Amino acid sequence: MEKYKLRFVPLGGIVGVTKNMYVYELYENDKLKDILIVDCGIGFPQEKEFGVDFLIPDIAYLQDKKDKIRAILLTHGHEDHIGALPYLYDSLGRPPIIASKLTALFVENKFKDNNQRLSVARVDFEKIYNFGDFKATFVKMTHSIPDTTHIIINTPVGTIYHGPDFKLDLTPPYGSPPDFYKIVKAGHDGILCLLSDCLGSERPGLTLSESVVGQTFEDEMRKTKGKVIMTTFSSNISRIRQCVEAAIKFNRKIVFLGRSMKQNSKLAGEIGYLPIPESLMANEDDLVKLPPNKICLIAAGSQGQYGSALSKLADKQNPNVKIKPGDKIIFSSDPIPGNENEVYGLIEDLVSQGADVVYSDIADQLHSSGHGNQEDLKFLMRFTNPKYLIPIGGTVRHQKQYENLAQDLGYEKQKIFSLSEGETIWFTKGNQAHKGEPVDTKNIYVDAYGVGDVGNVVLRDRKTISSEGVVFAFLVVDNMGRLVTRPRLVSRGFVFEKEEGKLYQGALKIVENVLKPKSGKVLEMNIIKRGVINNLEEYFYKEKGRRPLIVVDAVQL
Protein backbone atom coordinates (compact mmCIF):
# COMPACT_ATOMS: atom_id res chain seq x y z
CA MET A 1 0.00 0.00 0.00
CA GLU A 2 1.31 3.44 -0.94
CA LYS A 3 1.82 5.63 2.11
CA TYR A 4 0.82 8.98 0.56
CA LYS A 5 -1.79 10.03 -1.99
CA LEU A 6 -2.80 13.52 -3.11
CA ARG A 7 -6.25 14.45 -4.39
CA PHE A 8 -7.16 17.65 -6.22
CA VAL A 9 -10.80 18.75 -5.77
CA PRO A 10 -11.97 21.89 -7.63
CA LEU A 11 -15.08 23.34 -5.95
CA GLY A 12 -15.20 26.29 -8.37
CA GLY A 13 -13.22 28.14 -11.02
CA ILE A 14 -12.36 25.12 -13.10
CA VAL A 15 -14.92 26.00 -15.80
CA GLY A 16 -16.79 29.29 -15.89
CA VAL A 17 -13.96 31.70 -15.09
CA THR A 18 -15.18 32.82 -11.65
CA LYS A 19 -16.02 31.36 -8.20
CA ASN A 20 -12.47 30.07 -7.77
CA MET A 21 -11.88 27.54 -4.99
CA TYR A 22 -9.38 24.69 -5.14
CA VAL A 23 -8.88 21.97 -2.54
CA TYR A 24 -5.78 19.80 -2.09
CA GLU A 25 -6.16 16.72 0.10
CA LEU A 26 -3.21 14.68 1.38
CA TYR A 27 -3.86 11.09 2.44
CA GLU A 28 -1.53 8.95 4.55
CA ASN A 29 -2.21 5.20 4.54
CA ASP A 30 -5.58 5.95 2.91
CA LYS A 31 -6.61 8.28 5.75
CA LEU A 32 -7.19 11.97 5.12
CA LYS A 33 -4.43 13.87 6.92
CA ASP A 34 -4.24 17.48 5.67
CA ILE A 35 -6.31 19.85 3.51
CA LEU A 36 -5.03 23.01 1.86
CA ILE A 37 -7.43 25.45 0.18
CA VAL A 38 -6.40 27.96 -2.49
CA ASP A 39 -8.76 30.93 -3.04
CA CYS A 40 -12.41 31.35 -2.14
CA GLY A 41 -14.22 33.62 -4.61
CA ILE A 42 -17.65 34.58 -5.84
CA GLY A 43 -19.25 33.91 -9.20
CA PHE A 44 -21.50 36.20 -11.21
CA PRO A 45 -25.09 35.24 -12.11
CA GLN A 46 -26.31 34.62 -15.62
CA GLU A 47 -29.31 36.41 -17.10
CA LYS A 48 -31.59 33.45 -16.35
CA GLU A 49 -30.71 33.59 -12.63
CA PHE A 50 -33.19 36.34 -11.80
CA GLY A 51 -32.62 38.35 -8.63
CA VAL A 52 -29.35 36.62 -7.75
CA ASP A 53 -26.56 38.96 -6.62
CA PHE A 54 -23.74 36.42 -6.88
CA LEU A 55 -22.81 32.78 -6.37
CA ILE A 56 -20.43 31.17 -3.89
CA PRO A 57 -18.76 27.75 -3.89
CA ASP A 58 -20.60 24.75 -2.47
CA ILE A 59 -18.53 23.58 0.52
CA ALA A 60 -20.90 20.82 1.68
CA TYR A 61 -18.20 18.28 0.83
CA LEU A 62 -15.85 19.88 3.39
CA GLN A 63 -18.27 20.13 6.30
CA ASP A 64 -17.17 16.89 8.00
CA LYS A 65 -13.51 17.53 7.16
CA LYS A 66 -12.93 21.06 8.43
CA ASP A 67 -10.71 19.82 11.27
CA LYS A 68 -8.25 18.78 8.54
CA ILE A 69 -8.12 22.21 6.88
CA ARG A 70 -4.70 23.66 7.65
CA ALA A 71 -4.89 27.01 5.81
CA ILE A 72 -6.48 29.08 3.05
CA LEU A 73 -3.94 30.59 0.63
CA LEU A 74 -5.03 33.52 -1.55
CA THR A 75 -3.41 34.29 -4.90
CA HIS A 76 -4.70 37.86 -5.47
CA GLY A 77 -7.40 40.35 -4.57
CA HIS A 78 -10.03 39.98 -7.28
CA GLU A 79 -13.59 39.25 -6.13
CA ASP A 80 -13.73 35.91 -7.90
CA HIS A 81 -10.81 34.75 -5.74
CA ILE A 82 -11.60 36.28 -2.31
CA GLY A 83 -15.23 37.46 -2.31
CA ALA A 84 -16.85 34.36 -0.76
CA LEU A 85 -14.69 34.30 2.38
CA PRO A 86 -17.04 36.33 4.64
CA TYR A 87 -19.85 33.87 3.83
CA LEU A 88 -17.91 30.62 4.18
CA TYR A 89 -15.07 31.25 6.63
CA ASP A 90 -16.88 30.18 9.81
CA SER A 91 -18.18 27.02 8.11
CA LEU A 92 -14.61 26.16 7.09
CA GLY A 93 -13.47 26.19 10.73
CA ARG A 94 -11.72 29.60 10.60
CA PRO A 95 -8.30 28.33 9.47
CA PRO A 96 -5.32 30.70 9.01
CA ILE A 97 -5.41 32.85 5.85
CA ILE A 98 -2.20 33.90 4.09
CA ALA A 99 -2.18 36.58 1.38
CA SER A 100 -0.06 39.35 -0.11
CA LYS A 101 -0.35 42.87 1.31
CA LEU A 102 -3.07 44.38 -0.92
CA THR A 103 -5.05 41.13 -1.00
CA ALA A 104 -4.96 40.91 2.79
CA LEU A 105 -6.24 44.48 3.13
CA PHE A 106 -9.13 43.80 0.75
CA VAL A 107 -10.11 40.66 2.69
CA GLU A 108 -9.91 42.34 6.09
CA ASN A 109 -12.05 45.19 4.81
CA LYS A 110 -14.68 42.72 3.54
CA PHE A 111 -14.96 41.18 6.98
CA LYS A 112 -15.16 44.63 8.53
CA ASP A 113 -18.11 45.44 6.23
CA ASN A 114 -19.81 42.31 7.58
CA ASN A 115 -19.15 43.39 11.18
CA GLN A 116 -16.51 40.69 11.60
CA ARG A 117 -12.89 40.94 12.67
CA LEU A 118 -10.15 39.05 10.88
CA SER A 119 -6.39 39.27 10.68
CA VAL A 120 -4.82 37.93 7.50
CA ALA A 121 -1.14 36.93 7.61
CA ARG A 122 0.97 38.81 5.05
CA VAL A 123 3.05 36.74 2.64
CA ASP A 124 6.77 36.44 3.19
CA PHE A 125 8.11 35.51 -0.25
CA GLU A 126 11.32 34.10 1.26
CA LYS A 127 9.50 31.78 3.64
CA ILE A 128 8.59 28.11 3.25
CA TYR A 129 5.21 27.62 4.95
CA ASN A 130 4.43 24.30 6.62
CA PHE A 131 0.83 23.10 6.81
CA GLY A 132 0.94 19.55 8.11
CA ASP A 133 2.81 17.65 5.42
CA PHE A 134 2.18 20.40 2.86
CA LYS A 135 4.93 22.94 2.22
CA ALA A 136 4.08 26.10 0.28
CA THR A 137 6.04 29.00 -1.16
CA PHE A 138 4.61 32.06 -2.88
CA VAL A 139 5.87 33.36 -6.23
CA LYS A 140 5.64 37.00 -7.32
CA MET A 141 3.50 37.18 -10.47
CA THR A 142 1.87 39.87 -12.63
CA HIS A 143 -1.81 40.24 -13.47
CA SER A 144 -4.15 43.24 -13.66
CA ILE A 145 -3.88 43.89 -9.92
CA PRO A 146 -0.78 44.44 -7.78
CA ASP A 147 0.49 41.78 -5.37
CA THR A 148 -0.61 38.84 -7.50
CA THR A 149 1.04 35.52 -6.64
CA HIS A 150 1.40 31.95 -7.78
CA ILE A 151 1.96 29.15 -5.27
CA ILE A 152 4.35 26.19 -5.30
CA ILE A 153 2.92 23.38 -3.16
CA ASN A 154 5.34 20.64 -2.13
CA THR A 155 3.85 17.34 -0.99
CA PRO A 156 5.26 13.87 -0.25
CA VAL A 157 3.68 12.78 -3.54
CA GLY A 158 5.16 15.52 -5.71
CA THR A 159 5.16 19.28 -6.32
CA ILE A 160 2.16 21.22 -7.64
CA TYR A 161 2.54 24.61 -9.33
CA HIS A 162 -0.72 26.49 -8.77
CA GLY A 163 -0.79 29.20 -11.45
CA PRO A 164 -4.14 31.02 -11.75
CA ASP A 165 -4.78 34.44 -13.37
CA PHE A 166 -1.51 35.78 -14.75
CA LYS A 167 0.40 37.33 -17.60
CA LEU A 168 4.17 37.65 -17.97
CA ASP A 169 4.48 41.43 -17.72
CA LEU A 170 8.12 42.56 -17.82
CA THR A 171 7.26 46.23 -17.26
CA PRO A 172 4.34 46.36 -14.81
CA PRO A 173 3.26 49.92 -13.86
CA TYR A 174 3.61 49.08 -10.20
CA GLY A 175 5.45 46.31 -8.35
CA SER A 176 7.90 43.63 -9.43
CA PRO A 177 7.90 41.58 -12.63
CA PRO A 178 7.39 37.81 -12.29
CA ASP A 179 10.00 35.95 -10.26
CA PHE A 180 11.33 33.93 -13.19
CA TYR A 181 14.20 32.53 -11.12
CA LYS A 182 11.86 30.90 -8.62
CA ILE A 183 9.59 29.58 -11.40
CA VAL A 184 12.45 28.07 -13.41
CA LYS A 185 14.09 26.62 -10.30
CA ALA A 186 10.83 24.91 -9.36
CA GLY A 187 10.70 23.43 -12.87
CA HIS A 188 14.31 22.27 -12.56
CA ASP A 189 13.57 20.63 -9.20
CA GLY A 190 10.57 18.86 -10.70
CA ILE A 191 6.87 19.75 -11.06
CA LEU A 192 4.34 16.95 -10.96
CA CYS A 193 1.42 19.08 -12.20
CA LEU A 194 0.92 22.62 -13.45
CA LEU A 195 -2.48 24.20 -12.88
CA SER A 196 -2.56 27.12 -15.29
CA ASP A 197 -4.83 30.02 -16.19
CA CYS A 198 -6.20 29.28 -19.68
CA LEU A 199 -8.50 32.25 -20.37
CA GLY A 200 -6.14 33.74 -22.99
CA SER A 201 -5.49 30.46 -24.80
CA GLU A 202 -7.34 31.60 -27.95
CA ARG A 203 -5.22 34.74 -28.46
CA PRO A 204 -1.86 34.50 -30.25
CA GLY A 205 1.34 36.19 -29.11
CA LEU A 206 2.20 37.72 -25.76
CA THR A 207 -0.22 39.84 -23.74
CA LEU A 208 0.54 43.56 -23.81
CA SER A 209 2.13 45.03 -20.72
CA GLU A 210 -0.22 46.80 -18.35
CA SER A 211 1.93 49.91 -18.75
CA VAL A 212 0.77 50.54 -22.36
CA VAL A 213 -2.63 51.62 -21.07
CA GLY A 214 -1.16 54.62 -19.26
CA GLN A 215 -0.16 56.28 -22.53
CA THR A 216 -3.67 55.65 -23.89
CA PHE A 217 -5.20 57.46 -20.91
CA GLU A 218 -2.93 60.43 -21.56
CA ASP A 219 -3.82 60.52 -25.26
CA GLU A 220 -7.56 60.41 -24.54
CA MET A 221 -7.42 63.11 -21.87
CA ARG A 222 -5.34 65.40 -24.07
CA LYS A 223 -8.04 65.61 -26.74
CA THR A 224 -11.13 65.62 -24.46
CA LYS A 225 -12.80 68.97 -23.72
CA GLY A 226 -15.44 67.58 -21.39
CA LYS A 227 -15.34 65.24 -18.43
CA VAL A 228 -13.26 62.07 -18.58
CA ILE A 229 -14.92 59.08 -16.97
CA MET A 230 -12.90 55.87 -16.70
CA THR A 231 -14.44 52.59 -15.59
CA THR A 232 -12.72 49.36 -14.67
CA PHE A 233 -12.85 46.73 -11.93
CA SER A 234 -12.64 48.43 -8.55
CA SER A 235 -9.83 46.06 -7.54
CA ASN A 236 -7.72 46.91 -10.61
CA ILE A 237 -5.44 49.27 -8.73
CA SER A 238 -2.75 49.25 -11.45
CA ARG A 239 -5.25 50.52 -14.04
CA ILE A 240 -6.71 53.06 -11.61
CA ARG A 241 -3.22 54.32 -10.76
CA GLN A 242 -2.39 54.92 -14.42
CA CYS A 243 -5.61 56.90 -14.91
CA VAL A 244 -4.82 58.93 -11.78
CA GLU A 245 -1.31 59.70 -13.08
CA ALA A 246 -2.76 60.92 -16.39
CA ALA A 247 -5.29 63.10 -14.55
CA ILE A 248 -2.50 64.61 -12.44
CA LYS A 249 -0.55 65.44 -15.61
CA PHE A 250 -3.54 67.37 -17.03
CA ASN A 251 -4.48 68.94 -13.71
CA ARG A 252 -7.90 67.27 -13.55
CA LYS A 253 -9.63 66.86 -10.22
CA ILE A 254 -10.12 63.18 -9.34
CA VAL A 255 -13.39 61.78 -7.99
CA PHE A 256 -14.12 58.11 -7.27
CA LEU A 257 -17.69 56.92 -7.87
CA GLY A 258 -19.13 53.78 -6.31
CA ARG A 259 -18.73 52.28 -2.88
CA SER A 260 -16.25 49.57 -3.88
CA MET A 261 -14.18 52.02 -5.92
CA LYS A 262 -13.99 54.47 -3.02
CA GLN A 263 -13.07 51.77 -0.52
CA ASN A 264 -10.42 50.05 -2.62
CA SER A 265 -8.74 53.28 -3.71
CA LYS A 266 -8.65 54.43 -0.08
CA LEU A 267 -7.03 51.16 1.04
CA ALA A 268 -4.50 51.27 -1.80
CA GLY A 269 -3.65 54.87 -0.92
CA GLU A 270 -3.04 53.96 2.72
CA ILE A 271 -0.23 51.57 1.76
CA GLY A 272 1.28 53.83 -0.90
CA TYR A 273 -0.05 51.96 -3.94
CA LEU A 274 -2.15 54.93 -5.12
CA PRO A 275 -0.53 58.28 -4.33
CA ILE A 276 -2.75 61.30 -5.13
CA PRO A 277 -1.97 64.93 -4.25
CA GLU A 278 -4.51 66.27 -1.78
CA SER A 279 -5.06 69.31 -4.02
CA LEU A 280 -6.42 67.13 -6.82
CA MET A 281 -8.85 65.09 -4.74
CA ALA A 282 -12.49 66.17 -4.87
CA ASN A 283 -15.93 65.03 -3.70
CA GLU A 284 -19.02 64.46 -5.81
CA ASP A 285 -20.60 67.59 -4.34
CA ASP A 286 -17.74 69.68 -5.75
CA LEU A 287 -18.37 68.64 -9.36
CA VAL A 288 -21.08 71.20 -10.09
CA LYS A 289 -18.55 73.98 -9.41
CA LEU A 290 -15.80 72.61 -11.67
CA PRO A 291 -15.37 73.12 -15.45
CA PRO A 292 -15.82 69.83 -17.32
CA ASN A 293 -12.24 69.87 -18.67
CA LYS A 294 -10.94 69.79 -15.08
CA ILE A 295 -12.79 66.62 -14.04
CA CYS A 296 -11.68 62.97 -14.07
CA LEU A 297 -14.17 60.46 -12.68
CA ILE A 298 -13.16 56.88 -11.93
CA ALA A 299 -16.31 54.79 -11.65
CA ALA A 300 -17.25 51.25 -10.68
CA GLY A 301 -19.59 49.31 -12.96
CA SER A 302 -17.51 48.29 -15.97
CA GLN A 303 -19.47 45.03 -16.27
CA GLY A 304 -22.82 46.79 -16.60
CA GLN A 305 -23.91 45.80 -13.09
CA TYR A 306 -27.37 47.06 -12.20
CA GLY A 307 -27.20 49.79 -9.55
CA SER A 308 -23.48 50.43 -10.04
CA ALA A 309 -22.05 53.95 -10.20
CA LEU A 310 -21.77 53.85 -14.00
CA SER A 311 -25.26 52.45 -14.54
CA LYS A 312 -26.63 55.27 -12.36
CA LEU A 313 -24.89 57.78 -14.64
CA ALA A 314 -26.43 56.10 -17.67
CA ASP A 315 -29.87 56.16 -16.00
CA LYS A 316 -29.46 59.86 -15.02
CA GLN A 317 -29.75 58.98 -11.34
CA ASN A 318 -26.64 60.79 -10.08
CA PRO A 319 -27.67 64.31 -8.99
CA ASN A 320 -24.12 65.67 -9.25
CA VAL A 321 -23.03 64.23 -12.61
CA LYS A 322 -24.85 64.55 -15.94
CA ILE A 323 -23.55 63.03 -19.15
CA LYS A 324 -23.21 65.70 -21.83
CA PRO A 325 -21.80 65.97 -25.37
CA GLY A 326 -18.05 66.38 -25.17
CA ASP A 327 -17.68 63.95 -22.26
CA LYS A 328 -15.54 60.88 -22.81
CA ILE A 329 -16.21 57.54 -21.14
CA ILE A 330 -13.39 54.99 -21.24
CA PHE A 331 -14.14 51.30 -20.66
CA SER A 332 -10.79 49.95 -19.53
CA SER A 333 -11.87 46.34 -19.13
CA ASP A 334 -13.36 43.66 -21.33
CA PRO A 335 -16.69 42.01 -20.49
CA ILE A 336 -16.43 38.84 -18.43
CA PRO A 337 -17.85 35.98 -20.55
CA GLY A 338 -21.62 36.12 -20.02
CA ASN A 339 -21.71 39.86 -19.30
CA GLU A 340 -21.53 41.07 -22.90
CA ASN A 341 -25.21 42.06 -23.19
CA GLU A 342 -25.13 44.16 -20.02
CA VAL A 343 -21.92 45.95 -21.03
CA TYR A 344 -22.99 46.75 -24.59
CA GLY A 345 -26.43 47.84 -23.39
CA LEU A 346 -24.75 50.28 -21.01
CA ILE A 347 -22.56 51.62 -23.82
CA GLU A 348 -25.66 52.19 -25.95
CA ASP A 349 -27.32 54.20 -23.17
CA LEU A 350 -24.24 56.39 -22.70
CA VAL A 351 -23.77 57.02 -26.43
CA SER A 352 -27.43 58.03 -26.75
CA GLN A 353 -26.77 60.86 -24.26
CA GLY A 354 -24.05 62.33 -26.45
CA ALA A 355 -20.95 60.90 -24.78
CA ASP A 356 -17.94 59.71 -26.72
CA VAL A 357 -17.60 56.14 -25.47
CA VAL A 358 -14.30 54.36 -26.05
CA TYR A 359 -13.99 50.60 -25.53
CA SER A 360 -11.62 47.87 -26.61
CA ASP A 361 -13.66 46.82 -29.67
CA ILE A 362 -12.94 50.18 -31.32
CA ALA A 363 -9.67 51.31 -29.70
CA ASP A 364 -6.32 49.54 -29.45
CA GLN A 365 -4.29 49.54 -26.25
CA LEU A 366 -7.24 50.76 -24.20
CA HIS A 367 -7.30 47.58 -22.20
CA SER A 368 -4.51 45.11 -21.60
CA SER A 369 -5.84 41.74 -20.53
CA GLY A 370 -4.71 40.45 -17.19
CA HIS A 371 -4.57 36.96 -18.66
CA GLY A 372 -1.69 35.54 -20.62
CA ASN A 373 -2.01 34.91 -24.35
CA GLN A 374 -0.75 31.75 -26.01
CA GLU A 375 2.94 32.59 -25.71
CA ASP A 376 2.62 33.51 -22.02
CA LEU A 377 0.96 30.16 -21.39
CA LYS A 378 3.59 28.25 -23.35
CA PHE A 379 6.41 30.04 -21.51
CA LEU A 380 4.97 28.91 -18.17
CA MET A 381 4.69 25.35 -19.45
CA ARG A 382 8.31 25.42 -20.58
CA PHE A 383 9.60 27.07 -17.40
CA THR A 384 7.86 24.62 -15.07
CA ASN A 385 8.18 21.54 -17.33
CA PRO A 386 5.42 19.61 -15.52
CA LYS A 387 4.51 15.98 -16.05
CA TYR A 388 0.76 16.78 -16.00
CA LEU A 389 -1.32 19.83 -16.86
CA ILE A 390 -4.71 21.07 -15.64
CA PRO A 391 -6.16 24.21 -17.31
CA ILE A 392 -8.19 26.36 -14.88
CA GLY A 393 -10.05 29.67 -14.90
CA GLY A 394 -11.54 29.43 -18.40
CA THR A 395 -14.48 27.97 -20.26
CA VAL A 396 -14.64 24.64 -22.05
CA ARG A 397 -13.45 26.21 -25.29
CA HIS A 398 -10.46 27.77 -23.50
CA GLN A 399 -9.61 24.39 -22.01
CA LYS A 400 -9.69 22.83 -25.46
CA GLN A 401 -7.40 25.46 -26.93
CA TYR A 402 -5.03 25.05 -23.98
CA GLU A 403 -4.90 21.31 -24.73
CA ASN A 404 -3.92 22.16 -28.32
CA LEU A 405 -1.13 24.46 -27.11
CA ALA A 406 0.22 21.78 -24.78
CA GLN A 407 0.12 19.17 -27.53
CA ASP A 408 2.04 21.56 -29.80
CA LEU A 409 4.76 21.51 -27.12
CA GLY A 410 4.84 17.72 -27.16
CA TYR A 411 2.46 16.79 -24.33
CA GLU A 412 0.36 13.69 -24.88
CA LYS A 413 -3.40 14.16 -24.53
CA GLN A 414 -3.58 11.77 -21.56
CA LYS A 415 -1.23 14.07 -19.63
CA ILE A 416 -3.73 16.95 -19.80
CA PHE A 417 -6.81 16.91 -17.56
CA SER A 418 -9.62 19.26 -18.58
CA LEU A 419 -12.06 19.00 -15.69
CA SER A 420 -15.55 20.12 -14.76
CA GLU A 421 -16.51 21.45 -11.34
CA GLY A 422 -16.33 18.65 -8.76
CA GLU A 423 -14.27 16.28 -10.92
CA THR A 424 -11.19 15.09 -9.07
CA ILE A 425 -7.64 13.95 -9.82
CA TRP A 426 -5.59 11.51 -7.75
CA PHE A 427 -1.81 11.82 -7.69
CA THR A 428 0.19 8.88 -6.34
CA LYS A 429 3.81 7.96 -5.77
CA GLY A 430 5.70 7.24 -8.95
CA ASN A 431 4.33 10.42 -10.55
CA GLN A 432 1.06 8.81 -11.57
CA ALA A 433 -2.25 10.63 -12.01
CA HIS A 434 -5.79 9.52 -12.79
CA LYS A 435 -9.36 10.77 -12.47
CA GLY A 436 -11.22 9.91 -9.28
CA GLU A 437 -14.84 9.87 -8.20
CA PRO A 438 -16.44 13.32 -8.62
CA VAL A 439 -17.62 15.39 -5.66
CA ASP A 440 -21.24 16.57 -5.74
CA THR A 441 -21.52 20.35 -6.06
CA LYS A 442 -24.36 22.76 -6.79
CA ASN A 443 -24.76 26.50 -7.20
CA ILE A 444 -25.16 28.36 -3.91
CA TYR A 445 -26.96 31.61 -4.61
CA VAL A 446 -26.74 34.81 -2.60
CA ASP A 447 -29.37 37.54 -2.86
CA ALA A 448 -30.60 40.37 -0.66
CA TYR A 449 -32.37 37.89 1.61
CA GLY A 450 -29.51 35.57 2.44
CA VAL A 451 -27.25 32.73 1.38
CA GLY A 452 -28.57 29.60 -0.26
CA ASP A 453 -32.23 30.63 -0.04
CA VAL A 454 -32.54 30.95 -3.81
CA GLY A 455 -33.23 27.48 -5.16
CA ASN A 456 -34.27 26.24 -8.58
CA VAL A 457 -37.96 26.68 -7.74
CA VAL A 458 -37.44 30.34 -6.80
CA LEU A 459 -35.45 30.99 -9.99
CA ARG A 460 -38.13 29.28 -12.07
CA ASP A 461 -40.83 31.45 -10.50
CA ARG A 462 -38.80 34.63 -11.06
CA LYS A 463 -38.30 33.68 -14.69
CA THR A 464 -42.03 33.02 -15.10
CA ILE A 465 -42.93 36.41 -13.59
CA SER A 466 -40.46 38.20 -15.89
CA SER A 467 -41.87 36.65 -19.06
CA GLU A 468 -45.44 35.53 -18.30
CA GLY A 469 -46.57 37.76 -15.42
CA VAL A 470 -48.32 36.83 -12.18
CA VAL A 471 -51.96 36.36 -11.15
CA PHE A 472 -53.04 36.55 -7.50
CA ALA A 473 -56.20 34.72 -6.44
CA PHE A 474 -57.68 35.82 -3.10
CA LEU A 475 -60.15 33.39 -1.49
CA VAL A 476 -62.23 33.44 1.68
CA VAL A 477 -63.61 29.98 2.64
CA ASP A 478 -65.42 28.44 5.58
CA ASN A 479 -64.29 25.47 7.67
CA MET A 480 -65.67 23.10 5.03
CA GLY A 481 -63.58 24.71 2.31
CA ARG A 482 -66.57 26.43 0.66
CA LEU A 483 -66.46 29.98 -0.68
CA VAL A 484 -67.86 32.64 1.65
CA THR A 485 -67.49 35.53 -0.79
CA ARG A 486 -66.74 35.72 -4.48
CA PRO A 487 -63.01 35.22 -5.28
CA ARG A 488 -60.90 38.23 -6.31
CA LEU A 489 -58.24 38.12 -9.03
CA VAL A 490 -55.42 40.63 -9.53
CA SER A 491 -52.67 40.38 -12.15
CA ARG A 492 -49.40 42.11 -12.95
CA GLY A 493 -47.54 41.83 -16.24
CA PHE A 494 -50.05 39.36 -17.69
CA VAL A 495 -52.76 41.07 -19.77
CA PHE A 496 -53.76 44.65 -20.57
CA GLU A 497 -56.31 46.10 -18.17
CA LYS A 498 -58.97 46.39 -20.90
CA GLU A 499 -58.64 42.64 -21.57
CA GLU A 500 -59.10 41.63 -17.94
CA GLY A 501 -62.91 41.83 -17.71
CA LYS A 502 -64.05 38.98 -19.94
CA LEU A 503 -61.00 36.84 -19.19
CA TYR A 504 -61.42 37.12 -15.44
CA GLN A 505 -65.14 36.40 -15.55
CA GLY A 506 -64.26 33.01 -16.99
CA ALA A 507 -61.44 32.57 -14.47
CA LEU A 508 -63.76 33.30 -11.54
CA LYS A 509 -66.16 30.61 -12.74
CA ILE A 510 -63.23 28.19 -12.87
CA VAL A 511 -62.32 28.98 -9.25
CA GLU A 512 -65.94 28.73 -8.05
CA ASN A 513 -66.30 25.37 -9.76
CA VAL A 514 -63.18 24.04 -7.99
CA LEU A 515 -64.69 24.98 -4.63
CA LYS A 516 -68.25 23.75 -5.23
CA PRO A 517 -69.56 21.62 -2.31
CA LYS A 518 -68.99 17.94 -2.95
CA SER A 519 -71.38 15.81 -0.87
CA GLY A 520 -70.37 17.34 2.44
CA LYS A 521 -66.68 16.51 2.00
CA VAL A 522 -64.25 18.90 3.75
CA LEU A 523 -61.63 20.30 1.37
CA GLU A 524 -58.14 20.71 2.80
CA MET A 525 -56.43 24.04 2.18
CA ASN A 526 -53.54 22.53 0.20
CA ILE A 527 -55.97 20.68 -2.06
CA ILE A 528 -57.94 23.91 -2.61
CA LYS A 529 -54.82 25.86 -3.60
CA ARG A 530 -53.45 23.15 -5.88
CA GLY A 531 -56.82 22.73 -7.61
CA VAL A 532 -57.16 26.48 -8.22
CA ILE A 533 -53.59 26.75 -9.55
CA ASN A 534 -53.88 23.77 -11.91
CA ASN A 535 -57.23 24.82 -13.34
CA LEU A 536 -56.29 28.49 -13.78
CA GLU A 537 -52.98 27.56 -15.47
CA GLU A 538 -54.89 25.37 -17.96
CA TYR A 539 -57.55 28.07 -18.54
CA PHE A 540 -55.12 30.94 -19.10
CA TYR A 541 -52.99 28.87 -21.47
CA LYS A 542 -56.05 27.90 -23.48
CA GLU A 543 -57.31 31.49 -23.67
CA LYS A 544 -54.02 33.42 -24.02
CA GLY A 545 -51.30 30.89 -24.80
CA ARG A 546 -49.42 32.00 -21.66
CA ARG A 547 -48.70 30.47 -18.28
CA PRO A 548 -48.48 33.20 -15.61
CA LEU A 549 -47.34 32.37 -12.10
CA ILE A 550 -50.50 31.69 -10.04
CA VAL A 551 -50.36 32.68 -6.38
CA VAL A 552 -53.32 31.66 -4.20
CA ASP A 553 -53.93 33.39 -0.86
CA ALA A 554 -56.77 31.68 1.02
CA VAL A 555 -58.25 32.74 4.35
CA GLN A 556 -60.34 30.21 6.30
CA LEU A 557 -63.03 31.54 8.64
pLDDT tens-digit series, residues 321-356: 999 999 999 998 877 766 788 888 889 999 999 999
376 and 353 together in one domain = no
Looking at 201-210, 289-298, 512-521, which range is the least confident one? 512-521
What is the pLDDT, as a whole number, of residue 107? 96
Query: Is 454 domain-assigned?
Result: no
Domain end residue (candidates: 312, 331, 358): 358
Q: What is the mean pLDDT of the chain?
A: 88
Is pLDDT at 457 greater than 60 in this prediction?
no
Q: Which amino acid is at 264?
A: N
What is the pLDDT, as a whole number, of residue 520? 59
Query: Is 363 domain-assigned?
Result: no
pLDDT in tens, 402-439: 999 999 999 999 999 999 989 999 999 888 999 999 99
Query: Is 455 domain-assigned?
Result: no
Residue 496, Cβ density class (10 Å: 0-12 exposed, 13-18 middle, ≥19 buried): exposed
CATH of the domain at 388: 3.60.15.10
pLDDT in tens, 62-82: 999 999 999 999 999 999 999
CATH of the domain at 268: 3.40.50.10710
Is pLDDT at 121 greater than 90 in this prediction?
yes
188 and 256 together in one domain = no
Cα(120)–Cα(98) distance, integer angstroms: 6
Could you give the strand order of the β-sheet that contains 444-447, starting from the edge strand earlier in sequence?
54-56, 444-447, 450-451
473 and 331 together in one domain = no
CATH of the domain at 474: 3.10.20.580
78-97 residues labelled b (16+ CB within 10 A) or e (exposed): bbbbbbbbbbbbeebeebeb
What is the pLDDT, as a whole number, of residue 501? 73
Q: In the chain, how many domains are there?
A: 3
Domain end residue (candidates: 358, 386, 416): 358
Query: Is 243 domain-assigned?
Result: yes
Query: Is 458 domain-assigned?
Result: no
51 and 186 together in one domain = yes
338 and 191 together in one domain = no
16 and 155 together in one domain = yes
Cα(458)–Cα(439) distance, integer angstroms: 25
pLDDT-derived band at 379 (thresholds 50, 70, 90) equals very high
The more confidently predicted of residues 495 and 42 is: 42
What is the pLDDT, as a whole number, of residue 373? 96
Determine the structural domain holding residue 519 and report its residue range. Answer: 469-556
115 and 39 together in one domain = yes
pLDDT-derived band at 51 (thresholds 50, 70, 90) equals very low
104 and 56 together in one domain = yes
90 and 191 together in one domain = yes
88 and 105 together in one domain = yes
269 and 340 together in one domain = yes
Is pLDDT at 447 greater than 60 in this prediction?
no
Long-range CB pairs of 180-186, under 8 A, 24+ apart, other chains included: 180/383, 182/137, 182/139, 182/140, 182/152, 183/139, 183/150, 183/380, 183/383, 183/384, 184/383, 186/139, 186/152, 186/159, 186/161, 186/384
pLDDT-derived band at 522 (thresholds 50, 70, 90) equals low
pLDDT in tens, 496-506: 656 667 788 88
218 and 350 together in one domain = yes
Closest by Cα among 196, 242, 202 to 382: 196
